[in-house]
Amino acid sequence: MIERVPVLLEKSGYEILIGADIFSQISLKSLLGSVSDCVIVTNETIAALHLDNLRNRLAGHGSGVKIIILPDGESYKNTESLWRIYDSLISWACDRKTVLFALGGGVVGDIAGFAAATYMRGIPFVQIPTTLLAQVDSSVGGKTAINHPQGKNMIGAFHQPKLVICDLSTLDTLPPREMSAGLAEVIKYGPIADMSFMKWLENSVEAVLGKDRKALAYAVRRSCEIKAGVVGQDEKESGLRAILNFGHTFGHAIEAGLGYGVWLHGEGVGVGMVMAAELSCRLGLVDRSFVERLTSLITRAMLPTIGPIIDANDNAGRYLELMRVDKKSEAGEIRFVVIDGPGNATLRTAPDALVREVIDACCEPRS
Ligand code: NAD
Ligand code: GLY
């Protein structure tokens, strides 16, 4: 069975298809129409597991299937990987009817998407997310980017995919740590938009982690519906869309502060949500019981809930310094996504002294 979630945008609307063993149920060729080349961008880990299936499904379409295999890891979400894609596209004389397929997690999706956004000022691309995180979040909504050493996703563009295909079967090979990281992005949708989804997750978190197909299908579908609803109202993040970054301001500081790839993105978001909930509580927006409820769910998702020390001399100061580079900052002022009552999120500034207190309360004690 295939579930379909529409992403309704002013111009480039598209569908998210969700199901197990999905390629045996759809005709990619008829979904894509006429193309000149198919180029699959993936990484070495995913290529060994899932490339043949997609390559076989695309065989004979356009002038053939070409493959770009990047090294695996967040630290390769950089200019070097991007240039490898441009070099290949140019050497193969790819044109504006070339379709790029991003086969992988959020890292491959973000880099391939940015290459598609910029090559010849924009070519079509299809997201085929293979991690839980990518299926519930990064493949949807058209944010594409690479990292700068001083800030996550600082160089990027909005470029919507033509289609998103979430094949739940690809998650069979995903390691438990990556399942947990993906769950962080599932968990965020409850506090920001839908407390009944949070309640469902409280009853189902172990089933999702255990890859129960029914639970996974619902988690992916409901996450995509919520994200599509937000993106449909604010495609380019002029306001509302920022709520999807709940936990990310603190989380991005952890990722950059420790060095990309030391903590997974979802792990940073896990602790980041605890910090953002703590800040919301100290701003008087939610009760302490809400912080405890969310922390308990994050713990059950096997995610860290205590922040790392990223600077032995001035830990909170380093967090603040890194958070000022966040894309939501305005005139050097950090704007945090806070919970303004369960199921509602908003952007707020906060005094540095209060943010320091939150970081001190949520990080490992210093030895
Ligand atoms: P990832 O892409 O690094 O994938 C995690 C690991 O799992 C990698 O080692 C990968 O090779 C491996 N993998 C992928 N699919 C697999 C499979 N089916 N079986 C076995 N191994 C598999 O990480 P991620 O968590 O998917 O994505 C994180 C990235 O997404 C970050 O760079 C983050 O900034 C970005 N992101 C972007 C958005 C957006 O809206 N564009 C949203 C959230 C996160
Ligand atoms: N992951 C946040 C967004 O897409 O806006």
Tokens at 313, concatenated: 């001399």
Task: Tell me the average pLDDT across 345-355.
Answer: 97
Share of the chain above pLDDT 70, in %: 99
User: Closest ligand 2 atom, CA of 244?
Assistant: 2
Q: Residues of CATH 3.40.50.1970 domain(s) within the chain?
A: 3-173
What is the number of the ligand closest to the CA of 269?
1
Q: Residues of CATH 1.20.1090.10 domain(s) within the chain?
A: 176-363
Which of 7, 136, 143 gets mutated to test ligand 2 (max ligand atoms within 8 A of its CB)?
143
- Name residue 318's amino acid: R
What is 176-363's CATH superfamily?
Dehydroquinate synthase-like - alpha domain (1.20.1090.10)
Task: Tell me the average pLDDT across 354-365.
Answer: 95
**pLDDT computed for residue 61 by the predictor:** 81
Is there an atom of ligand 1 within 6 Å of 227 CB? Answer: no
For ligand 2, residues with CB inside 6 Å are 137, 141, 143, 241, 244-245
Options 2.40.160.20, 3.20.20.105, 3.40.50.1970, 3.40.50.720; CATH of 3-173: 3.40.50.1970
Is there an atom of ligand 1 within 6 Å of 147 CB? Answer: no
Q: How far apart are CA 164 and CA 120, in angstroms?
A: 22
pTM beyond cutoff 0.75:
yes
Task: Tell me the average pLDDT across 165-174.
Answer: 98
Query: Within 10 A of 206 (CB to CB), how many other CB atoms are there?
Result: 12
Task: Tell me the average pLDDT across 120-144.
Answer: 98
CA distances from 121 to 50, 117, 118, 141 (A): 29, 6, 5, 19
**pLDDT computed for residue 312 by the predictor:** 94
Q: How far apart are CA 66 and CA 37, in angstroms?
A: 8
Over residues 273-330, the pLDDT tens digits come to 999 999 999 999 999 999 999 999 999 999 999 999 999 999 999 999 999 988 888 8
Tokens at 143, concatenated: 């944010």
To the query of whether residue 248 is one of the catalytic residues in this protein, the response is yes
For residue 366, name the pLDDT band (cuts at 50, 70, 90).
low
Mean pLDDT of all residues belonging to the chain:
95
What is the number of the ligand closest to the CA of 143?
1
Tokens at 29, concatenated: 């060729």
**pLDDT computed for residue 34 by the predictor:** 85
Over residues 51-97, the pLDDT tens digits come to 999 999 998 887 789 999 999 999 999 999 999 999 999 999 999 99
Which of 135, 178, 186, 244 gets mutated to test ligand 1 (max ligand atoms within 8 A of its CB)?
178
What is the number of the ligand closest to the CA of 237?
2
Give 186 Cα–ligand 1 centroid separation in angstroms: 14
Given a cut of 90, is residue 102 above it in pLDDT? yes
Given a cut of 80, is residue 119 above it in pLDDT? yes
Query: Taking a C-beta distance cutoff of 8 angstroms, is the pair 189, 226 a contact?
Result: yes
State the catalytic residue, choosing from 77, 241, 282, 293: 241
State the catalytic residue, choosing from 225, 235, 237, 267: 237
Q: How far apart are CA 272 and CA 307, in angstroms?
A: 8
Share of the chain above pLDDT 90, in %: 89
